[in-house]
Amino acid sequence: MSQTINEKVAKTLESQNFEVLTLNKHFYSSGSLLTLEAWLRTSDFQAPEKNPIVVNFSQCFLANTNIYYAQGPITLALDDMYPEMKKAHKFAYWLLRRFLVKKDKEFVRNLKAKSKLFIANSKFCATMYQRWGIKVDKVIYPPIDCKRFEPRTSHPSNDYVLTYVGKETKYSILNKIANFGINIKAFGSKSRDIPKKIRKNPNIEILGKVTDIDLVGLFSNALYTLFIFTHEPFGYIPVESMACATPVLTYNKQGPSESVISNKTGWLVENDKEMADRAIRIWKKGYSTKIRKYCLERASEFDRKLIGKKWLNVLELSQKNVSIEPMVLPKIA
């Protein structure tokens, strides 16, 4: 069920025996702003009684559900992204922030009230809700398909570093790293939002949107994946990279710090200076080949079969109205 569903997506879902319901709402924006508009125009949905279990994955739907799968409050994400926003977006958010935060908190509390179980997609994500006094019952990480994301070669070229560019990217540090002579290939569907200094940097090749097949090849041949972000509740890219046997250089915070094991499947750094220093050091000196083996082992812990079993267990308990074991989270200062 969604406010609007692309016709191609609907046909794909129906071919997999999913019943597709859409409100056919018309939206006036696109891209990230469409998500924001959909959230502001919250839809209230009453699930048919014939469905024994209802799971809500949406950030713009209020519904009486057995389970809500939380992926982080929108305004807390915008707070982290604020320093890298365009000037016009910065001004707009600064102007509207108080109203948006108020609406966000109200929306999340309504979600909690309408859901029997409130499950987050990472421990970091859970702590964000905890700041607002929202109790999270369990954490289940998003799954990946390790049969789709797997090493394409046993002899990677190692002649470039792969990175993702999007609304969460810290472009200032990415540009600095590239200026040290590191060959970087950057993928991401939001190419039009990339700053000119990144586009013009001779050491950065902008690939734009790539298919999963091409992405697997890019991961597999990269020396390492550079994941520079402002906000990331979980982070598919680090896990997909490890599934392709390629280590990840990222920050020791938020979602990526829960999947990447520092000095074993990649490197976790504390700040931008350490990020740049480590990026250059790895580019020049490389690393032990054992790291690629550890990457595969770590990624397998997020495989869809294992994550699927966790979901089935929760769904079965929910159907039987059996409570799950309460989760203990670190206290927020």
314 and 288 housed in the same domain: no
Backbone phi, psi, residue 323, to 5°: -75, 145
278 and 167 housed in the same domain: yes
How many Å apart are CA 268 and CA 178, to the nearest integer? 19
| CATH number for the domain that contains residue 272 | 3.40.50.2000
180 and 290 housed in the same domain: yes
88: three-class secondary structure by DSSP: helix
Does 86 map to a domain?
A: yes
Whether 153 and 221 have beta carbons less than 8 Å apart is answered as: yes
Give this prediction's pTM.
0.90
Residues of the chain where predicted confidence (pLDDT) is lower than 50: 332-333
Does 15 map to a domain?
A: no
171 and 243 housed in the same domain: yes
How many Å apart are CA 301 and CA 311, to the nearest integer? 14
172 and 297 housed in the same domain: yes
What is the span of the domain harbouring residue 294?
161-301
Does 34 map to a domain?
A: no
Question: What sign for the dihedral angle of Cα 170, 172, 175, 176?
Answer: negative
180 and 129 housed in the same domain: no
For 133-147, what is each residue's pLDDT tens digit?
999 999 999 999 999
- Tokens at 209, concatenated: 């949107």
User: What is the rounded (10 degree) CA torsion for 254, 260, 263, 264?
Assistant: 160
Does 5 map to a domain?
A: no
DSSP 332: P
136 and 172 housed in the same domain: no
Q: What is the pLDDT of residue 332?
A: 47
Q: What is the pLDDT of residue 37?
A: 86
Whether 235 and 121 have beta carbons less than 8 Å apart is answered as: no
How many Å apart are CA 45 and CA 52, to the nearest integer? 16
Q: What is the pLDDT of residue 40?
A: 87
311 and 278 housed in the same domain: no
195 and 83 housed in the same domain: no
Tell me how long the chain is: 333
Does 36 map to a domain?
A: no
Does 153 map to a domain?
A: no
137 and 173 housed in the same domain: no
126 and 177 housed in the same domain: no
Question: What sign for the dihedral angle of Cα 121, 127, 133, 136?
Answer: positive
Does 119 map to a domain?
A: yes
179 and 127 housed in the same domain: no
Does 332 map to a domain?
A: no
Structural domain total, the chain: 2
Question: What sign for the dihedral angle of Cα 233, 234, 238, 241?
Answer: negative
- Tokens at 252, concatenated: 């020791």
Helices (H) and strands (E) in the chain, counts: 13, 12
